[in-house]
Amino acid sequence: MTGWNDIPNIQWYGERGIVNAVVTFISHGDHEGRLERLKKFLKAIKWGNNNEQSWICEILDFKIVVELGLADFGNPDLIIVCKDKDNSRYCIFIEAKVGQYKKSMHSNAKGMENGGFNSSINGQLSLKYRFATALKKDKEDGEQGLSEPKCIYDFYKDKLNDKRRSGPRKIIKPEIIQTILEPLGLKGIDIESCYFVAWTWDNDHHIFFKDTKVKENNGMPLFDDTASDEIEMRLGWLGYKNLEKYLNLEHSNEYMAARKTMIDSSEPSDNNEYYEAKQVTLEKLDEFDGDIRKLSEGIVAVFEGSAGFKTITQKKSYSIRYGNKVVAKIIPQENGIFVGFRSDFDDVTWEKISGDEHEYSVIKTSGVYFKGINIDPSKLTDGMKNVKKFIDEHLDHIDTFGI
């Protein structure tokens, strides 16, 4: 049992807490110590061209900005700005997730048109690239703030379906531009000196820019034509295991406590059930029709037929409550429906439903894992009979579990 002495002096929590714990760890102490830790942090990153960045060894000083609000370009988890002996600047944008890249990405098959793309990890990296083009762009007469070049805006609008805007993305706030970006030396920085890093809970066998499943499911960031061939050398991945190894973070009580509030290991194994979780699409419930809608309504009816369980209809899913706790989720997707039960409330043996082929998976939503099956309407050979049996067995188990 955890006691008073086991709690660190600063208890960080959640994804933001993990980032803050790492930044605090890097930044404490004298200049030489801080610089050494920063270099180790950057050397823990794996790059798309399989090479190390030679400039890392030449860094003489650095600044870290946490979750800076960049208006139309989003809020990067970290911006690290380094300078060398020649006063050259290098800017690293880092987007951090406590889950796998594949669970945080959103399909770019239709460009940036899909709702939710910009909040996905590949969408966030795409926006940071667009922000980097705004930093380089010369200011036009009468222009306020920083905006992406018109050619970049036109490319994303016309070829990548970013059609919800009436003009280039921009940031106007002078307190951001004049007191942070310009003093850091970022105004006018070359795009070749900007780097884009995904910090995710993956292992070395599933680095996103090498993962065939990421590419097959259209999960890469979106860059314009001139950058696509060159960006790979500046695209990076940071894994928790590499981070902990390079910085010896197992000795940091604050970091370890924060990380363990979200994930209990530094990387998933290849057979880890969480790793193979399907990406949950972000369409609203009212956007589904046909077999998906019909099956969703049938599954809801099964839950509502059990005493004590209440179905709450939300924008993108159904939540099943028992008392005041959400114990199950129904999440319609493009090709089927995920039905899952809260993993810490349900330890019943999982067996394949006889007669039907359903793929088991785990999703994480609002920090909670749900184990379940992905039901394909075209593969329901026995109507709802076996699905109902599956649901009833788990509901009965929860009912007697004393939740």
In a domain, 270, yes or no: no
Parent domain of 292: 285-399
pLDDT for position 328? 87
3-class SS at 225?
helix
Q: How many residues does the chain have?
A: 403
What value, to the nearest 5°, has the Cα angle with vertex 323 and ends 321 and 329? 15
The 194-200 sheet, strands edge to edge? 46-47, 235-239, 194-200, 89-96, 78-84, 59-66
User: C-alpha distances in angstroms, 215 versus 211, 218, 315, 326?
Assistant: 7, 5, 28, 34
In a domain, 362, yes or no: yes
Q: Which two tokens stand for residue 31?
A: 């200049």
**Residues 187-225, buried b or exposed e (16+ Cβ, 10 A)?**
bebebebbbbbbbbbbbeebbbbebeebeebebbbbbbe
Same domain, 57 and 191: yes
In a domain, 267, yes or no: no
Q: DSSP letter at 284?
A: -
Q: Give the integer Cα–Cα distance in Å for 353 and 381.
A: 11
Q: Give the integer Cα–Cα distance in Å for 176 and 144.
A: 13
pLDDT for position 400? 44
| One-letter amino acid of 92 | I
Same domain, 244 and 307: no
3-class SS at 140?
coil
What is the pLDDT averaged over residues 89-116? 85
Q: Across all residues in the chain, what is the average pLDDT?
A: 83
In a domain, 341, yes or no: yes
Same domain, 356 and 225: no
pLDDT for position 397? 62
Judged by phi (left if over 0) then psi (alpha if -120 to 50, else beta), residue 184 lies in: alpha
Q: Which two tokens stand for residue 266?
A: 């530094």
**Tell me, what CATH number does 308's domain have?**
3.30.1460
Q: What is the pLDDT of residues 39-57, one digit of tens each?
A: 999 999 999 987 789 999 9
Same domain, 46 and 185: yes
| One-letter amino acid of 54 | S
Same domain, 244 and 290: no
The DSSP bridge partners found for residue 338 are 331, 374
Please give the tally of structural domains in the chain: 2
pTM above 0.85, yes or no: no
Q: What is the pLDDT of residues 327-360, one digit of tens each?
A: 888 888 777 788 888 765 443 334 444 444 566 6
In a domain, 64, yes or no: yes
Q: Give the integer Cα–Cα distance in Å for 239 and 207.
A: 9
Q: Give the integer Cα–Cα distance in Å for 34 and 22.
A: 12
Query: How many other C-beta atoms can be found within 10 angstroms of the C-beta atom of residue 349?
Result: 6
Residue of 132, 160, 135 lying closest to 146 (CA atoms): 135
In a domain, 99, yes or no: yes
First to last CA, the chain: 22
Confidence of residue 275 (pLDDT cuts 50, 70, 90): very low
Q: What is the pLDDT of residues 105-123, one digit of tens each?
A: 888 888 887 656 888 899 9
What is the pLDDT averaged over residues 303-322? 84
- Last residue of some domain: 227, 260, 293? 260
Confidence of residue 283 (pLDDT cuts 50, 70, 90): low
pLDDT for position 282? 47
Same domain, 207 and 246: yes
Same domain, 347 and 203: no
pLDDT for position 114? 61
Same domain, 74 and 220: yes
pLDDT for position 355? 42
pLDDT for position 360? 67
Q: Give the integer Cα–Cα distance in Å for 399 and 108.
A: 41
State the Cα torsion 168-174-176-179 to the nearest 10°. 140
Q: Which two tokens stand for residue 150?
A: 């018109």
Helical ranges in 137-277 per DSSP H: 150-158, 174-176, 212-216, 225-228, 240-247, 253-260
Same domain, 119 and 187: yes
